[in-house]
A and B are shown apart, each in its own frame.
Chain A
């Protein structure tokens, strides 16, 4: 397919050879408002083309490769469009009028097509690259957190190289819910390379994090189905369209250098444990070394008194608080990002090349990553009507030691957090003795010495990734064009993980070597029409076809039990295994879009896409292997046709209906397969059925039907604006596991049964309360409320488990009638008045009774998300900050549950002197009051921590998320030197919580990015981040 397309492109270019190149030129100028103030960020496009630029901070612009016959369209929010014919001019100064009657901001929509916002019948948010480049994060997508209504980004506590969870308009699927990422028109693989679960593990990072923030020109977030319908079966979770910088907005040769450094420090305001009682049990200090080892993480000793008390290593140390172990174990993380970009815009071509290096040292000792990115974007006008764009990116990522999370084995975070107050974590150094054996601090071999976990465990990977594409556009005449694009996203990822020889829980150790090869090839061909049919009626239509193929291969070598200690190589293991997996799938599509506009105030867009799936094809299969995905959307700019009060400058109503889809993305699911497994037995090979679940030959992708309505309102001379949206969708035909009895031989069968409904509001309210020559203040509040409901799970509407906490008393579930991913767990038995029912056990310590069934204790995904951004500009200074919050969700605080049991939680101080009075009722309804003796508190609190209920806490928070203070060196200082612009800024992130309901943990501390949100268990502690950034243009 690609060969065909490339030869076609070559063919088309041959057709055009011999035609003389037109003489084009560069125009530049300044755009200002009526008062003469320069306007930054004004969009300038060549009418009828995709080419465009925007003005810089001083209102200047340069646009290369413009023909005399071209017409430039200047547009800016709150100002009337202005069209200027280029003619003989090369310097064009434009004054825009503050008139919102026409509001022609141009944004990138599905398939990379640029459209005026007023023509859109759906909600779309475009974010400029500066949002991402100013406050750089190791995963660029995290910069959008709290900034876009309807987009819920969760940065988990997985370490600097970890993945993020990005959910648009609520989760639509029982499977993957992350959006499709499209980079310069080419879909980008965003698989998560492993994540932690209840039994531990580490987060392998995701695909989108490889993007260099300095290369991003803009990000368009296509939220609903009407916006994504042209992506058909891949649009169900929303689409994030990233456009990288091309150099088109530059003039001549330019160099841009930017550099930033960020320091990550433990936010030690979060975890607040007791520091008054030390290691021990039942109020007594450890009697001897063996005893200290037995109770390694138990803080049930007496009040710290400074006396000498024996510890795990047989040494006696003062029985007193040794200070915060988090501060002592973790280090200050650093992230240096340096980018250098060269661009050149010539007569017929533009070129931008950038190289970037990101070096991170995580707060976890011996962990970090290095990412080198190279990006080349070029555009060539090969002849008058033929333009070729070529983009290529090469990314090399080298990650050293992804920290283990959740369950305790190999998890440094677990051990550090749970050490009793009198045990200094630094005394555990080094993690291994001279023979390489782990130095334990506890007889629980699964509590790993944190230094051993950090320095002796290995969990490293490196990835080579190439994303490249070529696009050719041929303007047949001024209203017909032909466009072709092909690209590839290819990566290989090699990872090594080692449980070293000498590990307490696995003395002989083990290791794994894995190599994953991933290739996605995508090609489009489009034929477009843009024409005014009458004075008032215009059509903008295109029809196209797409082919997409994804191939992946995984090679794995495993080795158990090292033979020569310290040599970490597969050949040095006793039990060796190997495996390979492979899959390839394709989608072929035809699509079309017709936009009709009437008099530039009424717009109607109809799109359709038909996808054919290899994953739904099989020899002899009779049911269809394709599906059709339509959408219709429209907008009416009422302010252009109806007399409205003068305060209203612009009012647009919009609405859309769509059908999109997702899933059905696993190859080889339709038929039963066999496998030759293991390595034979006594010379005989072993064969069996491979499938654990009954294959369903008639499986299809799940469907999502959505309608949305919205309005754009701008008033008070555009100083106040509202963008509101309401959507309502239902995802049906969810691919679920139909309950089968295990006696059928199978764990289940897959079927299209499940239904999830979401509806919600999104709002963006922006205001510019102050704007004058030297000072301006803009403020905006965005938010969304998403209401989800599981309408059907499987054939019996049973509960679907998504994930359990390691404590095994709480689980995230899909339950019919409830919202997506509720938290269900072990709860107290209560009497009619809600009082906890106890049994006074033989030992006299009240034993709370367990409710007959697990109860729904909360919802893991907060439904309400808000962000408040403020930007102040004073002359050349700008200051902005972001406060965001999430509300209405809960989280199971595993840290609190465990520290209730081991006596670190502050609430376990109650009763340590004089006992704790407990009041309750017994099973027969009799009230009782009893005093739990101090030495029995360990038993009492230990019994509470068997329950999930007390530890499912509100996850509401308001966080001071981001702060930047920037200074633009005024151009007058730079005039006589070779610099074009210099910007310096001070940045801060995750600075503090204005409100946080759950104690001791970060309310966003989930340990993976899957659907089981709402479980916290010993991830990497939260950090505060401070930094400096410099951007220089030559």
Chain B
């Protein structure tokens, strides 16, 4: 009898060997979904970027190729047009894994949850911003299938032609701005760029359309004009109140900080390029942007730029200086803070584009006025760096008086001011310079450079793509040309 009771007990105890297992394997520490608002805030910070890609793609490569900064250290590879695969692909690596992945997911959530159209529109504009930065830097890139590893199981996205990406991005902007009304979107304060202000998003969308339209100038001048016209008619930024930028804080975590600021905390090597310092001669921005490394002097007479393309063994002969501390560096008391703002697009840039549109096609208002507005705005917006960066109106006026708009050299003037105004947003500096090739930058020719002594025209892809996404990578190379720094992206041809 006892035996049978025992056997029954055994059977009862183990009747189900997996009872409750399904619930047990649901992670109790992680949500299965989060709000679109929290995702947008994170995406905007991801887009501003971490130290990783700001160090490598933005500063080490782009800023030195554009001769804003310079450095003698060997790992500042953009200064010398040498190859560092991981540095070059850093934006590609980080953007797809952070902002792209999460905005693709956010879009799906907004569709599933049938969110208001204006939220979708804001998300689409944000997405265009992310992708235009990627495609401008690399050319043909995964776009239509990107970030869908989980949603659609696409492990190896195809590379879309940049011509098609641009067409789609412009269409997206057009549709998005049309869907935006006025008032505050449901993103509210979670939208750390515009606090949900739909009017500002509309201006940003149109301003971005203007930027993208002008990018086409080499390959499709008519298209460029059409899109510029459409953007201007739709309403672009009109003052520094409209600037698209991210406000950062001093921590507590890396995500909260300005990625460029984190670089300057960690890296004492970058100096102001001689090219930049020379162009800033007489410019009231000079003592705000630069200081002498050794004694922090901002006296313009003390501010000497370090030429690009030098190393520790050659700079003394080339410059006559005996210490790297005697050169100017980004002003560490004003613009290099970890709580500094990060600019995506500014009114000053818009004003310069309007001036250019007027020069080219007679649209967008008077060129001289727009030029003056742009210079003034570019100087005034520095106040976002703090009180120490406020420039007296008298100084601005004096500068404009000394450097008046000159119709004869308008394009170079406009391009140079655009180049100055996008300092630290080097992705944009690099893209705009390639389409207009002004100001004229003299390339360096450092031993071992991979561009034959020419300024790079793009950065190279993640080289792991050769194995992880071989077919699509190879197709992109056959469409666009060799995966080299010298290959031009579609709109640069």
Contact = CB atoms under 8 A, between A and B. Distances in A.
A306 interface: no
A685 B41 CA distance: 7
Contacts of A668: 25-27, 30
Interface string B153-195: 1111100000000000000000000000000000001101000
Residue of B23, B28, B104, B468 contacting most chain A CB atoms (<10 Å): B468
Interface stretch (B116-124, B250-258, B291-299, B412-420): B250-258
Interface in A811-849: none
Nearest to B15: A545
B26 A743 contact: no
B150 to A, nearest CB: 5
Contacts of A683: 189
Contacts of B101: 689, 745-746
Interface in A3-22: 4-5, 8, 11-12, 15-16
A688 B155 contact: no
Interface in A673-717: 673-679, 681-692, 694-695
Contacts of A747: 97
B155 A527 contact: no
A255 interface: no
Interface in B2-32: 2-3, 5-7, 9-10, 13-14, 16-19, 21-32
A625 B21 contact: yes
A745 B18 contact: no
Given A588-B14, A684-B38, A687-B38, A746 B149 contact: yes
Size class of the A contact interface (CB-based, 8 Å): 35 or more
Interface in A552-586: 575-577, 580-582, 584-586
Interface stretch (A163-171, A276-284, A610-618, A873-881): A610-618
A558 to B, nearest CB: 11
Interface string A736-747: 001111111111
Contact of A742 (B30, B92, B190): B92
Nearest to A799: B467
Contacts of B468: 739-742, 796, 798
B25 A582 contact: no
Contact of A613 (B3, B21, B30): B21
Contacts of A5: 13
Residue of A525, A621, A689, A798 contacting most chain B CB atoms (<10 Å): A689
A545 B3 CA distance: 17
A590 B11 CA distance: 11
A921 interface: no
Contact of A673 (B24, B31, B247, B472): B31
Contact of A741 (B28, B30, B156): B156
A745 B150 contact: yes
Interface residues of B, number: 75
Contacts of B25: 585, 614-618, 667-668, 670
B102 interface: yes
B409 interface: no
Given A545-B17, A668-B27, A681-B256, A798 B149 contact: no
B256 A4 contact: no
A686 B41 contact: yes
A577 B252 CA distance: 8
Contacts of B154: 744
B29 A684 contact: no
Contacts of B112: none
Residue of B7, B22, B27, B141 contacting most chain A CB atoms (<10 Å): B27
A695 B32 CA distance: 13
Contact of A740 (B30, B155, B256): B155
Contacts of B100: 743, 745
Nearest to B254: A678
B464 interface: yes
Contacts of A738: 155
A575 B254 CA distance: 11
Contacts of B464: 741-742
B332 interface: no
A160 B41 CA distance: 49
A618 B22 CA distance: 4
A367 B351 CA distance: 66
A237 interface: no
B24 A476 contact: no
A671 B32 contact: yes
A616 to B, nearest CB: 8
A744 B146 contact: yes
A688 B102 contact: yes
B93 interface: yes
B39 interface: yes
B230 to A, nearest CB: 30
A88 interface: no
A738 B5 CA distance: 51
Nearest to A545: B14
A589 interface: yes
Contacts of B97: 692, 742, 745-747
Given A584-B24, A619-B26, A625 B155 contact: no
A575 B265 CA distance: 15
Interface string B129-147: 0000000000001100011
Contact of A4 (B5, B6, B13, B29): B13
Contact of A688 (B9, B24, B39): B39
A99 interface: no
B249 A682 contact: yes
Contact of A614 (B10, B21, B98, B251): B21
Contacts of B28: 582
B96 A745 contact: yes
A588 B13 CA distance: 11
A577 B256 CA distance: 14
Contact of A577 (B104, B253, B462): B253
A916 interface: no
A480 interface: yes
Given A545-B17, A590-B14, A684-B38, 14 more contacts: A8-B9, A15-B2, A527-B10, A545-B10, A545-B13, A614-B24, A673-B32, A674-B34, A686-B41, A738-B155, A743-B157, A744-B154, A746-B149, A796-B470
Closest 9 A/B residue pairs (Cβ): A745-B101, A687-B38, A588-B17, A744-B149, A687-B34, A741-B469, A673-B30, A617-B21, A612-B18
19 contacts: A545-B17, A577-B252, A586-B21, A613-B21, A618-B22, A667-B25, A672-B150, A674-B30, A678-B255, A678-B256, A679-B253, A741-B142, A743-B146, A743-B465, A745-B96, A745-B101, A746-B150, A747-B97, A796-B467
Interface of B: 2-3, 5-7, 9-10, 13-14, 16-19, 21-35, 37-39, 41-42, 45-46, 92-93, 96-98, 100-102, 104-105, 141-142, 146-150, 153-157, 189-190, 192, 247, 249, 251-253, 255-256, 462, 464-465, 467-470, 472
